[in-house]
């Protein structure tokens, strides 16, 4: 009795037919007679044969895998994000391959390379707060791997992204504070290279200007988005 993982070649040897006939029979191809299909499928079941998913993906040109790269899974926002992504992926028969950059640019680059090598069908990413060179994302275009950015969006042209209207939200926040009688409104922003930080700053200034309040640069502080720098600010 032969041992090891059952393969198409093993089934073919035991039934004394070609491997291509076994392959077509397992795919219920109309060119294979009912008797042969029945014998092949019965033996495959007895041997515990399972299709080689890698080979199937290669034939289809898809892996049914979505890559996701997040800064920190421990942050509540990103934890909720990955939960929603996985739920949606599973409903559509996709698997999620996830990695954390921990806000390290070099690690982000390595993760993007790993996702590319695994031939993910697409990549969802929130970039690190220090990412300013986007060449590793540009490189994915050569492999026809689409990328969707969310939350932390790079300043790149012609990209797909999901983001909140931060500028509008900031203006609403300023209006609310002024309505409650506040006039000296401080502003703690994130790193200047992030699009979200730029939108937030724009909303802050527009909100003050709209209400005819002076913009005092001493009231504006940038932080590194971590707990320590935010507390210091």
pLDDT recorded at residue 164: 86
pLDDT recorded at residue 58: 62
CA distance 189 to 116: 33
Two tokens, residue 136:
């590793």
| CB count in 10 Å sphere of residue 65 | 17
pLDDT recorded at residue 7: 87
> CB neighbours of 115 closer than 8 A, spacing ≥ 6?
67, 69, 97, 99, 123, 145
Two tokens, residue 71:
């800064």
| Main-chain dihedrals φ then ψ at residue 207, nearest 5 degrees | -65, -40
pLDDT recorded at residue 23: 85
Q: DSSP letter for 75, please.
A: S
pLDDT recorded at residue 6: 86
pLDDT recorded at residue 49: 86
Residues of the chain falling short of pLDDT 70: 1-4, 52-61, 229-231, 233
pLDDT recorded at residue 3: 55
Cβ atoms of 115 and 65 closer than 8 Å: no
pLDDT recorded at residue 63: 84
Q: What is the pLDDT of residues 73-130, one digit of tens each?
A: 988 899 999 999 999 999 998 999 999 999 999 999 999 999 998 889 999 999 999 9
By the 10 Å C-beta count (0-12 exposed, 13-18 middle, 19+ buried), 156 is classed as: middle
Domains of the chain and any CATH numbers: 8-51 (1.10.260.40), 62-162 (3.40.50.2300), 166-232 (3.40.50.2300)
CA distance 140 to 2: 44
pLDDT recorded at residue 1: 47
Q: Can you list the positions of beta strands (E) in 2-105? A: 65-70, 95-100
pTM: 0.69
Reading phi first (left if > 0) and then psi (alpha if -120 to 50, else beta), residue 194 is in beta
Scan for tokens 């909140």, then name that residue. 164
Q: Can you list the positions of beta strands (E) in the chain? A: 65-70, 95-100, 122-125, 147-150, 160-162, 187-189, 220-222
pLDDT recorded at residue 55: 64
> CB neighbours of 72 closer than 8 A, spacing ≥ 6?
78, 100, 102, 103
| Main-chain dihedrals φ then ψ at residue 214, nearest 5 degrees | -70, 140
CA distance 201 to 205: 6
CA distance 122 to 134: 17
pLDDT recorded at residue 195: 85
CA distance 65 to 5: 24
């Amino acid at each position: 009795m032969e041992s090891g993982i059952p393969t198409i070649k093993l089934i073919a040897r035991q039934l004394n037919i070609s491997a291509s006939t076994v392959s077509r029979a397992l795919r219920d191809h109309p060119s294979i007679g009912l008797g042969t299909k029945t014998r092949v499928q019965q033996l495959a079941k007895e041997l515990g044969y399972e299709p080689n998913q890698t080979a199937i993906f290669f034939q289809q040109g898809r892996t049914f895998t979505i890559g996701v790269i997040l800064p920190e899974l421990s942050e509540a926002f990103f934890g909720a994000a990955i939960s929603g992504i996985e739920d949606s992926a599973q409903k559509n028969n996709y698997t999620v391959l996830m990695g954390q950059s921990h806000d390290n640019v070099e690690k982000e680059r390595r993760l993007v390379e790993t996702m590319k090598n695994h031939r993910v069908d697409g990549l969802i990413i929130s970039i690190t707060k220090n990412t300013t060179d986007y060449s590793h994302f540009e490189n994915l275009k050569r492999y026809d791997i689409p990328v969707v950015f969310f939350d932390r969006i790079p300043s790149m042209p012609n990209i797909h992204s999901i983001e909140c209207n931060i500028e509008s939200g900031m203006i609403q926040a300023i209006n609310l504070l002024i309505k409650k009688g506040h006039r000296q409104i401080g502003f703690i922003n994130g790193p200047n290279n992030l699009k979200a930080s730029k939108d937030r700053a724009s909303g802050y200034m527009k909100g003050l200007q709209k209400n005819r309040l002076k913009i005092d640069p001493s009231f504006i502080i940038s932080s590194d988005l971590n707990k320590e720098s935010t507390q210091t600010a």
